[in-house]
Each structure stands twice: as structure tokens, then as C-alpha cells.
A and B are shown apart, each in its own frame.
Chain A
Amino acid sequence: MSDKKPKRREFLFTATTAVGAVGAAAVVWPMVDQMNPDASVKALASTEVDISSVKPGNTITVLWRGKPVFIRRRTKEEIEEARSVKMEELIHPEKDEDRAKNPEWLVMVGVCTHLGCVPLNDKGDYNGWFCPCHGSHYDTSGRIRKGPAPWNMEVPKYEFVNANTIKIG
């Protein structure tokens, strides 16, 4: 600090500006935050799905938080294919064991991690999903293998309520 004592006017000027800035921020924040998802949107955060009618090799798509969620009952070959891949070959390395706790059921948000399109089922070079928008290929575990998408398709939080029901969210 310099020896010079701040003048009374300088002090008032700084203090006024500081209080003004806090006041302005207090007004700006509600204007910004009003655009975020509100409580009514957040309240729709979980959904229960009956999976008793899904046969092996079939996928059902359900809506969760306005987004499609793929629930696939995988065949033996698909599980085998997903679990035999070496981690080095993956763009976004994740074990299939971590993505599908119950190997028969793959549950994931059906949204391409590139720019948000819905990938097509049973398509692409890895027998999993293919995004028609910009050509991302996903494998039977929903992991990105080829194309512009940076990550694997997201696995949401879910649990088996009983043998025939999954609760997502």
C-alpha cells in the first residue's frame, strides 16, 4: 500500500461502484437463470418401463426427459461381440461390463453424442447403431467406433424394480 491515504471521494466512488456491480449482478442472474430447466421440468426426471414383452434381439425406445432411451435385449452373439473388444480399439474406452450390469439388457440414451440426432438400430459397421446425420458408428454396447461423435452413448441411471420393470432416472 502506498502511504497516500485514499481521499474520501475516491473511497465513495469505489464503494458506490462495488455496490452497483453487486446490484447489477443480482438483477442479471434471475434474467439468465429463468432460461434454465425449472422444477416442473426436473420433476419429470424418472420413468418406469415394462420390459416383459421385449424379445432377444429387439429394442424398444421410450421417452425420458424428452429424449429417446434405447432398451435392448441383446442376443448371446451381441454380448460376446461387445465383451471381446480390446480397450485399445475404442475411441472412448469403457468396458461393456460397466455399461450393461445385466449383460442381456443394454439401457442407454439414444442420442448421438456428436450433435444430438437419434441413431438407427441394427445399422452401421459394428452391428450396433448408426447415426444418419453425420455418420457415427456405434457397436453392440453403444460405444463410438467410427465417425465424428466424441463419446459413447450415455448410460442413464437406472435400476430393475423387479424382473419385468426398469426405472430410468
Chain B
Amino acid sequence: MSDHDYKPKSKVGQWFNDRLPLLTLANHLTDYPTPKNLNYWWTFGGILTFCLITQIITGLTLAMHYIAHADMAFESVEHIMRDVNYGWLIRYIHANGASMFFLAVYIHIFRSLFYGSYKSPREIIWILGIVIYLLMMAAAFMGYVLPWGQMSFWGATVITNLFSAIPLVGEGIVTWLWGGYSVDNPTLTRFFTLHYLIPFLILGLVVLHIWALHVPGNNNPVGIDIKKPSKDTVPFHPYIVIKDGFALLMFMIVFAFFVFYTPNILGHADNYIEANPMVTPAHIVPEWYLLPFYAILRSVPDKLLGVVAMLSAILILAALPWLDTSKIRSAVFRPLYKQFYWILVADVLILGYVGAMPAEGLYLLIARVATAYYFLHFLVILPVLGFKERTLPVPLSITEPILGGSPNLAAARHRESKIK
């Protein structure tokens, strides 16, 4: 790469760049060599950046009208919806934006799982991503509390009570989190503060995430290391910028559909009832993006172990680079892994479904089987598969199979059908 050789054309540019090499950075981002075979699953990084910026801008705007007080929060949200100019639009973008953010992040994560993007040398990118994901969940949860409706209040009660499962100090921690003996005004104000803070922490981590990405460069659908820059790469601008831009446009159509046509479908009607500490709604369900973990929590009959299982289900992802023992990254060349991958996708979807259902009878049984399989996938199947699986031959470069250089014609054809 020519990063360090870059010299701005103008005198002023040179003068500035010698003192703060921002132009070198801009040049690096423009010329950044990118694999030329990236498919549309790779556009979700850009889409996620868009989601984060959207949430920050709409969030700042809402904060100008919202009042973080137990007596006024609910009313101030209604004030935003009814009185504030375009308040309804801004709030619907923010609320649905959270769902869109998670939709994109799940696609982004499952893309990494399919193409083995978490493997060496990209472990740090992956772990930073998991931390971002955890912070996203924290921010989403606290944001959901702010309207101070029934679901806000009882969701906050249930989630903070998870900490009471900790032996000895649990109750003390919960009281400390609440700032009282129940979820109340002190809880609301601190949640608002943290909800405001976390997106900026995420922003900082995103910078590190991208920085760590730019050290080894992008993984690609074939999952091989490529020379950079070479015949296998294209500069980020304009090639990837245009592709990302087009994907973003498609994504925004889906986003706009939710905002304008069905803005409340992902929420719960109960949250339009003001918080009441005396009455619990009949059926408490978290937002859709937390349902698989909620199902895992409920599938374990013991309080502490349920919480441990739920946290492990998320944290186990951080160990993934070491649990997956296969040297081949892309599932395109891993016939068995590819099948287990889709079983895992189905398993997570099933967990999400039963998470929304009452925890009894058949639903509970399904949740238990699916929970067991989730852990089986990461703790047994992945480590064993790396040793047992017969992988397909991997091309030497991205260009090779297209030029027909493979000695195995059938494998080359097979690959060509996969590598679009």
C-alpha cells in the first residue's frame, strides 16, 4: 500500500498533512484495496454505520423534547408524538431504527459465520464486533425503558432482576442499579444517561473495528488470503462505495416501509399504557431481537443457571475463533459445515419463535432442545468438524477458478456456481 508515500498535490494540503495527516487517511480509505468478489452480504458494514448515525441523530433530536422523569416521561413521549413538529417521524425512525440496526447486525454476524470471517488473522475484529453487539443490546434495552410504559417498566424490572441471581451480593447489586427498592425515577434517569452515552462508545469501537479490519483487509466469499493490491482487488472508491450505496438504498426502502406503513408492528401495545408498579402485563415479551436469548433464559428451570446460560450463549461467540478448528474459512469449501450452518440458523430462528410464546408444554420442550443444540453446535460440532471434515479444493486466487486454472474441473464448476 502506498499510504505513507502519499503526498497531497496542493501546497496548502502538504502543509496541513505534514501537521495532521488527515489527507493520508482519506487517501487510504479511498484507495483501500478490496477483494473484487465481495457479494451483497458484505454491504452490511456500511449499512450498520448508517444505522448508528441515524440513531445518534434522531436520538439527539428526541432528547431535546424528552423529559427523563417518572412522572413526565410517558407524557413527554406523547408530546413528541402529537405536538412536536415531525416528532412522530423522528420517534418512529428512532424506534424502528433500533430494529433495523439489529436486523442488519444479525445479517452481518451470520455472514461472518458463513464465510469464516472471524478466523485468524481477524479475531480482534470479531471480538470488537461482539463487544459492539453487547453494547447495542444494552443501549436498546435502556432505550426501551425511557417511554415509561408498562413494557418499559416491567422489562426493566425483569432484566435488572437477572442480577439478583448472583449469590450473596445479587440483591445488593439490584438495589444499587435501581437506586431504590424498585424500578423508579432514579432508575429512569440513570438509564437515560447511559442510553445517551453508549452510542458514542459504540462509535469509538466502530472506529477500532474498521481500523482492525484495515490491517489484514477484508475477507471474501472464497475465504483465501489475497495479495493487495493485485488483480484480485479493486479500490474501495468508487467500486465498493457504489455497491454499498446501492445496497443501502434497498435497505432504506425496507426501513421506510416500517416507519411509514407499520410503525408499531415491532412494538407492544402494552407500552402505550403508562407504567404501573402494581400490575404486571399478562404476557411480558422482550423486543424481537432479544427473543432467542430470552428463550434460552426460560428453558433452564434454575434461576441462576438460566442467567448463566443466557450470558454464555452470547459470550461463547467471542471464543468462536478458537472453537472452530478448521483452517478453511469459507463454507463454500466446507460441505458439512455448510449444512450445520443452516441448521444453526434454523435453531436460532426456532429459539426466537419459542421465546415469544408462553414458556410451557411443547414450547418449553422445543426451547430446551434448541438451547441444547445451540451449545452443541459451538462446543462440540465446530471443534470436531475441523478435524473430520473433507473440504473441497480451495483456489489459489480469486481470479483462478474464473480462468479455469483448477485441475479439478468439477470442483471448479461447483465453485463457479457459488462464487458470484
Residues of A within 8 A of B (CB): 32, 35-38, 41, 61, 63, 65-68, 114-119, 131-135, 148-150
Tell whether, in the assembled complex, residue B306 and residue A148 are in contact, meaning their CB atoms are under 8 Å apart: yes
Q: Using Cβ atoms and an 8 Å threshold, which residues of chain A touch B283?
A: 132
> Is B161 engaged at the interface, CB distance under 8 Å to the other chain?
yes
B281's nearest neighbour on chain A, judged by CB, is A132
* Set of chain B residues within 8 Å of A37, measured between Cβ atoms: 175, 178-181, 186
The answer to whether A118 and B278 touch across the interface, beta carbons within 8 angstroms, is: yes
Q: Are A35 and B176 in contact (CB under 8 A)?
A: yes
Q: Tell me if A133 and B179 are in contact (CB < 8 A).
A: no
Contact B175 A67 (CB under 8 A): no
Shortest distance between the CB of B296 and any CB in chain A (Å): 13
Supply 4 further A-B pairs (C-beta < 8 A) apart from A115-B161, A133-B280, A148-B303.
A37-B180, A65-B182, A66-B182, A68-B278
Q: Which of A61, A115, A131, A150 contacts B157 (CB 8 A)?
A: A115
B107 within 8 A of A: no
- At the interface, is chain B mostly helix, strand, loop or mixed? loop
Query: Could you say which residues of chain A place their CB within 8 Å of the CB of B164?
Result: 115-116
What are 12 A-to-B residue pairs whose CB atoms are below 8 Å? A35-B177, A35-B179, A35-B190, A38-B179, A67-B181, A114-B303, A116-B157, A117-B158, A118-B279, A132-B281, A132-B282, A134-B298
Question: Roughly how many angstroms separate A115 CA and B303 CA in the complex, as a whole number?
Answer: 9
Closest to B307 in A: A115
Q: Are B176 and A117 in contact (CB under 8 A)?
A: no
How far, in whole Å, are A139 and B177 apart by their CA atoms in the complex?
Answer: 31
Do A115 and B162 touch (CB < 8 A)? yes
Q: Does B301 contact A (CB under 8 A)?
A: yes
**Inter-chain contact B179/A41, CB cutoff 8 Å:** yes
Instruction: Give the distance to chain B from A114, nearest Cβ to Cβ, in Å.
Output: 6
Known A-B contacts A37-B175, A135-B359, A148-B302; the reply to A117 vs B280 at CB < 8 A is: yes
**Interface check B284, CB cutoff 8 A:** yes
Residue interface mask B143-173, A partner, CB < 8 A = 1: 0000000000010011011101000000000
Contact with A along B271-290 (1 / 0, CB 8 A): 00000011111111000000
Q: Is the CB of B180 within 8 A of A66?
A: yes
The 8 closest A-B pairs by CB, nearest first: A66-B182, A65-B181, A116-B161, A115-B161, A117-B280, A115-B158, A118-B280, A116-B157
Contact A148 B158 (CB under 8 A): no
Whether the Cβ atoms of B158 and A66 lie closer than 8 Å is no
Docked complex Cα distance between A100 and B363 (Å)? 37
For the complex formed, measure the closest distance between the CB of A104 and the CB atoms of chain B, giving whole angstroms.
23
Known: A36-B175, A41-B181. A63 touches B277 (CB 8 A): yes
Q: Does B184 contact A (CB under 8 A)?
A: yes
Query: B177 — nearest CB in chain A belongs to which residue?
Result: A35
Of residues 55 through 91 on chain B, the ones whose CB sits less than 8 Å from some CB of chain A are: none
- Residues of chain A lying within 8 A (CB to CB) of residue B158: 115-117, 133
Q: How far is the CB of B170 from chain A (nearest CB, A)?
A: 11
With known contacts A35-B179, A37-B180, A148–B157 Cβ distance under 8 A: no
- Contact status B277-A68, CB under 8 Å: yes
Q: Are B277 and A67 in contact (CB under 8 A)?
A: yes
Which residues from B are CB-within-8-Å of A131? 280
Cβ distance A9 to chain B, nearest Cβ, rounded Å: 37
CB distance from B128 to the nearest CB of A (A): 26
- The closest CB in chain A to the CB of B364 belongs to A135
In the assembly, what is the distance between CA of A118 and CA of B182, in Å? 12
Instruction: Assess A66 versus B277: contact at CB under 8 Å? Given A35-B176, A35-B179, A134-B298.
Output: yes
| Chain B 299-321 interface residues, beta-carbon cutoff 8 Å to A | 301-303, 306
Given known A117-B157, A148-B301, contact A135–B184 (CB-CB < 8 A): no
Query: Please, which residues of chain B bring their CB within 8 A of the CB of A65?
Result: 180-182
B284 touches A117 (CB 8 A): yes
